[in-house]
Each structure stands twice: as C-alpha cells, then as structure tokens.
Amino acid sequence: MTRGHLAEHGVVAPQGAIQVKRLADAVEDETIGLPAGVRELAKVYLVQIEDLSAKIAGLDRQMKGAAKEAEAARRAQTMPGVGPITALAIETFAPDLNCFRRGRNFAAWLGLVPKQTSTGGKPRLGKTSKMGQRDIRRLLISGAMAVLQAVKRFGKPHNDWLISMLERKPRMPVAVALANKMARGLWAMVTKQEDYRNPVAMS
C-alpha cells in the first residue's frame, strides 16, 4: 500500500524487502514534493513494516534454533533443497516415517505421485495428485525448484539426471519428480538415521 501511494506521486522502487530503505529515504527527503498527508501516512506504514520485519526475523531465528536441536530436523537439512521450515514441517505434520514401509509410500502420502489413467489398455501418467499433505508437498517442490535453479546455473557432474530432464521437459514436472526423490531420500535418511549422501538410498 505504501508503494502504491508513493507511486502516485512519482516515487517508485522495485519490489522486494531490500527496497524498503529506498522508499524510507524518499519519504524523509524534503526535496521530494510529497504532500504532507502522504508523507505521514507512508511513515506509519514504514513503521509497521519495520515492526513486522523484526518479528519475522525473531521467529526465523527460533525456527532455525529448533531445527538444529531436533535430530531428525537437523539431519533432514543436510539434503540440498531442505531448509529449517521444511524440516520442521515434516517433523510436525508427518507421522513417524518408520510407519511407511518404503520411501515411495511416504512420497505417495505426500501426493508426490502422478495420477494414472488408462488409454487403450496402456497406463498414462497425468498431473500430480492433489491428495496428501499439501504443506509439506509444496515446501518440497519449492526446495526442488531452488535445486533446479542452482543446477541450471552452475551444473555439477552428479546432476546429469536433472540436466537431462531439464533439457527435455518443463521445469515444474522436473521439480515434482525431484521432490518425489527428495521425499524418498528423506524417508531413508530418517529411518536409517543417516545424513544426506549423494546418491542416497531412495527405495
């Protein structure tokens, strides 16, 4: 809302938290002809943004601390693409991973498996199932997207499978496939009490 009010008076900054200081400097700059009401309203919004940012930073520190203290969450974070939020989400919202017979069962519980349809007697894979634990699924796909971005930018010898997939398919299906592998890998790591290895057992 602050950005919109200021843009109406010619003060424009790109989106992103890092640009808030730029807007704050513009509000404090008396040489910019902002109406007094707009300037005061912008100051109110900027104070609220600063307070919320401080609270978010505090919560982020708490989550990172909790993720380090919990052994399973700490172990999960050794996998590329898994951060403290994803690790804590798995520990909080998923049942004991030992209750799943295999990693693929955990991936299926998350909904990280494509729907299957049959045409002419031949099974065809469709879109990802919408069933399963939605929050963990989204976090894993988001983490997989971050891994894909790093692979595409830097590339590594042990990521040949991903590079090949990216050359042949759109990014989102590749991310879902990687998230599936990540889920299976996390199951193996937690149930076998092992940190991430490359490649990790994903049976």
pTM over 0.75: no
Say what the pLDDT of residue 198 is.
66
Which has the higher per-residue pLDDT, 14 or 183? 183
Per DSSP bridges, beta strands 122-128 and 114-119 are antiparallel
Residue 120 backbone class (left: φ over 0; alpha: ψ -120 to 50; beta: rest): left
- Burial string for 34-72 (b: 16+ CB within 10 Å, else e) reads beeebbebbeebbeeeeeeeeeeeeeeeebbeebeebeb
Cβ neighbours for 114, distance < 8 A, ≥ 6 positions apart = 125, 126, 127, 128, 129, 176
CA gap 100, 114 in Å, rounded: 19
Count of other CB atoms within 10 angstroms of residue 171: 14
pLDDT, one tens digit per residue, over 149-163 is 888 777 665 667 788
Mean pLDDT of the chain: 75
DSSP symbol at 144:
H
Tokens 């994803």 -> residue: 86
Q: Is a pLDDT exceeding 50 seen at residue 200?
A: no
CA–chain centroid gap for 141, Å, is 7
When pLDDT is averaged across residues 120-138 and rounded to a whole number, the result is 60
When pLDDT is averaged across residues 184-192 and rounded to a whole number, the result is 93
Q: In this predicted structure, which of 40-49, 90-99, 124-133 has the lowest mean pLDDT?
A: 124-133
| E-only strand ranges, 113-162 | 114-119, 122-128
Longest Cα–Cα distance in the chain: 74
CA nearest to 148, candidates 170, 117, 116 = 170
SS3 195: coil
Angle of CA points 110, 86, 172, to nearest 5°? 60
What percent of the chain lies above the pLDDT cut of 90?
25
The length of the chain, given as a count of residues? 203
pLDDT, one tens digit per residue, over 106-123 is 999 999 875 444 444 443
